[in-house]
Structure 1
Amino acid sequence: MNTTTNPNKALWEKGDFTKIAATMRQSGDALVERLQIRPGQRVLDLGCGDGTTALPAARRGADVLGVDIAANLVAAGNRRAREAGLSNLRFQEGDASALRELEADSFDLVVSIFGAMFAPRPGDVAKEMVRVTKPGGRIVMGNWIPNDPTLVAQILKISAAYAPPPPEGFVSPMKWGVEADIFERFEAAGVKRENIACARDTYVFACDGPPSGLLDTFQNYYGPTMNAFEAAQKNGRAAELRRELEALFNAQNASGDPLRTYIPATFMRVTVGV
């Protein structure tokens, strides 16, 4: 599968998203539980990372393929599958906007939780997700919402203010959190409007330690934040960026314990019937 045309490959291989994903496992399992996956279903997890939703789906008996642009995350996912003894789960590299190696009408369920939203050419992403889904199957996306006051939308907004401007023609991944854009993209892919539904949902980042520790993880391992800090360092603004993000993380912490981090983040849950 040709992945070299996707500019996000370097971004997501730059850090180590497994460090972030470790704080997301509980919500990943809860989300999969609500999908009511049945044994024997074929599931594609697109932009899967190291398997935060793919492993819970496989544990429920589905035949799961995880596809991600980042080779390091694919390797981590396959390692986790082996360690869990899940022969019904495998990971491979791929570009969500050009799933050339996947046949049409192959999957009962296509899931993409904060994954495919970052791929370029969103119209192609919608068409590819629809193409590989069996008639009567479902697509479920989780997408961050632009200007939402909760954690991740604010991290991305703050980071963008410190990072270099995006290239000409860049389409913000946050538009996948806008209902009008969601409907437009899937309708253009051939889905009837009445088969598209959007609802706000919540994902939780949870870990031991103070919020500053979670911020350390984002600063050191999350590609967009890493880029922002590199640019801020060159401009002498790294301390300013750190202070702004520390204030955000501390304000968002809902644990009630300064040594425990529990931060809910709002996202758009998209359900599409094919």
Structure 2
Amino acid sequence: MNPNKTLWEKGDFTQIAQVMRQSGTALVDTLGITKELSILDLGCGDGTTAIPEAKLGAKVLGVDIASNLVAAGNKRAKAEGLSNCSFQEGDATALTDLQDKSFDLVVSIFGAMFAPKPFEVAKEMVRVTKPGGRIVMGNWIPGDPTLVAQILKISSAYTPPPPDGFISPMLWGIPDHVTERFVQAGIPKERIECSNDSFTFNAPYAPSQLLNNFKNYYGPTMNAFEAAEKNGKAVELLHELEALFNSQNNGGDNNTTSITATFLRVTVTR
């Protein structure tokens, strides 16, 4: 079994994605999408950016390794009446079903960064992009003090060491690594741009409920709690995460959550 597939099918990321809709739509609004564009949304989840892209008239294919998220995405597209948006299973390291130079725009927001073999991921994204087309990635930044980077950092301290040869997905948040990967995939350095951007998690409930959703539905956090439970440290992990969520909440009251996280925005011109 593919361990990456197992990780993202373990929980139910749709429970997290519901608090990402507003920022997902806002991000898509900055991409200059028109009806003529053909878009691949890679590591798409249930369509946090793919659905807004399709609503702007583009033809969108969402690809994700998790079958449950693909099913949820197709259900959302059908409910929205979006015949120009479909979802299918696929692995970002080997997009075997997709032809060379097929898409005007490849988008991957907190998706492809989690696939293993990052050089293969960059190569595949470049391969399926048309000459003159663009690749846009959103990647969490290692060591960043904001929410998701800290969730992953705290969680990793409670889980067993990764296997030999493991490459941290967080390296996608470092411009030098991003440049190296795309240059090796054939992109001139001057066509690779990196800048910091922000993404806000908005929920009509308390930070404790959002944390509960991460604990119960987000694969990396689920693994951390399982490991912590075995080591008698689950309460310690919970307290660390509670302090994080509460300190970063700008919701204005105890029953609203609004937490902004910083990410690296990558734009590559093919």
TM-score, scaled relative to structure 2: 0.99
- Counterparts in 2 of 1:132-147, with a 5 A limit? 132-147=128-143
Question: Which residue is equivalent to 2:81?
Answer: 85
- Counterparts in 2 of 1:46-125, with a 5 A limit? 46-125=42-121
Give the Cα separation in 1 of the matches to 2:132 and 2:268. Answer: 10
Question: Which residue is equivalent to 2:262?
Answer: 266
Give the Cα separation in 1 of the matches to 2:36 and 2:209. Answer: 40
Question: Which residue is equivalent to 2:124?
Answer: 128
Give the Cα separation in 2 of the matches to 1:212 and 1:255. Answer: 12
1:189 aligns with 2:185: yes
Query: Structure 2: which amino acid aligns with 1:240?
Result: E
1:230 aligns with 2:212: no
Give the Cα separation in 1 of the matches to 2:249 and 2:235. Answer: 21
Pairwise CA distance, 1:61: 0.3
Deviations 1:119-139 (A, max 9, x none): 010000000000000000000
Q: 2:23 aligns with which of 24, 27, 35?
A: 27
1:250 aligns with 2:246: yes
Pairwise CA distance, 1:255: 1.6
Give the Cα separation in 1 of the matches to 2:67 and 2:38. Answer: 23
Pairwise CA distance, 1:249: 0.1
Secondary structure of residue in 2 paired with 1:61 = coil
Question: Which residue is equivalent to 1:166?
Answer: 162
1:241 aligns with 2:237: yes
Query: Structure 1: which amino acid aligns with 2:140?
Result: W
| Stretch moving more, 131-140 or 252-261 | 252-261
Q: 1:13 aligns with which of 9, 14, 18?
A: 9
- Where has structure 1 moved over 4 Å in runs of 4 or more? none
Question: Which residue is equivalent to 2:203?
Answer: 207
Give the Cα separation in 1 of the matches to 2:251 and 2:124. Answer: 40
Secondary structure of residue in 2 paired with 1:259 = coil
Give the Cα separation in 1 of the matches to 2:35 and 2:95. Answer: 25
Task: Note the aligned Cα RMSD (angstroms).
Answer: 0.6
Secondary structure of residue in 2 paired with 1:34 = coil
User: Could you tell me the percent identity over the aligned residues?
Assistant: 69
Pairwise CA distance, 1:36: 1.1
Deviations 1:123-161 (A, max 9, x none): 000000000000000000000000000000000000000
TM-score, scaled relative to structure 1: 0.98
Deviations 1:219-259 (A, max 9, x none): 00000000000000001100000000000000000122121
Count of paired positions:
270
Q: Tell me, which stretches of 5 or more residues in structure 1 are unaligned?
A: none
Q: Tell me, which stretches of 5 or more residues in structure 2 are unaligned?
A: none
Query: Structure 2: which amino acid aligns with 1:237?
Result: K
